[in-house]
Amino acid sequence: MKLEVTVSEIADIFKEIQQRPGQLFEMIRLDIKEVVGKYLTTMMNAELTHFLGREPYARVTEAAVNHRNGSYGRGFALKGVGEVHVDIPRDRNGEFKTSVIPRSKQYEEEIARDFSILFLAGVSTRTLSMISERLIGRKISPAEISSVNTELNTAVEAWRRRDLSQEAVKYLFIDGVHFHMRVGRSIEIVPVLVAIGVTETGQKLVLSLQAGDKESAMSWREFFKDLKARGLDGGKVTLGMMDGLPGLETVFREEFPQAKVQRCQVHVARNVLAKVPKKFKRDVANDLRSIFYAPSQEKAWECFELFRQRWQKSVPSAVECLERNIDACLTFFNFPPEEWISLRTTNIIERLNKEFRRRTKVMEIVAGEIACYRILAYISLKMEMHWRSNPVGKARKNLPFFKELACEYFTQKA
């Protein structure tokens, strides 16, 4: 049959498109869906022909031979196309199973992966369920999205327990972060221990995420033993950055006897200032800055002696607090000057913990330890990609004055 369209009908179509520009694209989408649906149906019919070994309507003599038995319609969602209608052929004996469209799947795997990434990036399951119909043409329930996310568990566990023998780690940043987590039928505050390693080339890697009590020396000992069991060469670790958690420093020295300890200067400064009256806080903070940002270790000790002489009578408890920690606060001077700005504090791992909290804040409660690892692993990999352009001790190419700026304005060299 020949289809004829008059000029006036074409003109009417274009007028309607001008009034509703989106209608043209809607027509295109509908046409694409129809074509794709027919294409998939044709493929499955060809698959059935191969399965039976003969074309439709071919004569057969054997009475026990299997035959075609019509088809049934169903929807299937494709990425970039939406939900299409397909007719799945059947055989009389019920032996044929198409490999084009899985029997239990309502959408292709790419869509499942995309929804998993959106969830890990911070979009809730309810929100994904609401927007799924607009994105793929069918609504996906929150339970389906949660089920899809569980498929990531194997990959997450493989990443958490990956081999570290090929990573030449020289520095470790160590800390813990708390989450409200569902444990059984109750909600508990569960700490997760975190370790970031810095390689010989200055690259930062998240080495381990492990639930455990960050106030317990036994938890940290098991944490470090797990790192070494996975291939971490403890003899190459020369420095550990930490914030003075109980028992952590002692266990670290025992597990990595060749490494030094750097206490976070920000945490020490907060502890010192907490013992200072408000009227003296500004002056004490300036004197602390003179110690921590001195151009050399010798100058730092000179500044500390001046600090002790000036504040011993006024705030002896603050001076005593600094005396207990000053050795560990100045360890960074034993390492290359271009790395000092990164080694003074635990800012690197605090930044990672901040991203952990920002992502889980919208959830309020994390649905168990495995679900927590899924989210933290995604954030860790995302941060590692960001860190690639900012290795420790390497100034960015678009900031050639970085070293001079840090030296002149953030130390007492001037």
Q: How many CB atoms lie within 10 A of CB 109?
A: 12
Question: Cα separation of 313 and 296, whole Å?
Answer: 27
> What does the alpha-carbon distance between residue 360 and residue 33 come to, in Å, rounded to a whole number?
38
- Residue range 179-208, pLDDT digits in tens: 888 888 888 888 999 999 999 999 999 999
- Residue-level pLDDT at 273: 92
Please name which of 327, 348, 194 lies closest in space to residue 261, comparing C-alpha atoms.
327
Q: What is the model's pLDDT at position 1? A: 47
Q: Report the pLDDT value the prediction gives residue 228, as an integer from 0 to 100.
A: 93
Q: What is the pTM of this model?
A: 0.75
- What pLDDT is attached to residue 63? 65
Q: CB of 198 within 8 A of CB of 228?
A: no
Q: What is the pLDDT along the chain (414 residues), one digit of tens a residue?
A: 455 657 677 677 667 767 776 666 777 777 788 888 888 888 888 888 888 888 887 777 776 678 888 888 888 888 878 788 888 898 888 888 888 887 777 777 777 778 778 777 777 777 777 777 777 777 777 777 777 777 778 888 899 999 999 999 999 999 999 988 888 888 888 899 999 999 999 999 999 999 988 888 899 999 999 999 999 998 899 999 998 777 888 899 999 999 999 999 999 999 999 998 999 999 999 999 999 999 999 999 999 999 999 888 888 999 999 998 899 999 999 999 989 989 999 999 999 999 998 888 877 788 888 888 888 998 999 999 999 888 887 755 544 454 555 555 555 444
Helices 347-361 + 369-387 axis angle, to 10: 130
Q: What pLDDT does residue 109 have?
A: 77
Tokens of 364: 């309020």
H or E stretch covering 241: strand 239-242
**CA nearest to 75, candidates 67, 65, 83:** 83
Q: Which residue, among 199, 256, 200, 201, has the nearest Cα to 223 in the 3D structure? A: 256
Q: At what angle do helices 278-292 and 265-273 cross, to 10 degrees?
A: 150
Look at residue 384 in the predicted model and tell me its pLDDT.
92
Listed in sequence order, the DSSP H helices in 1-108 are: 7-19, 22-52
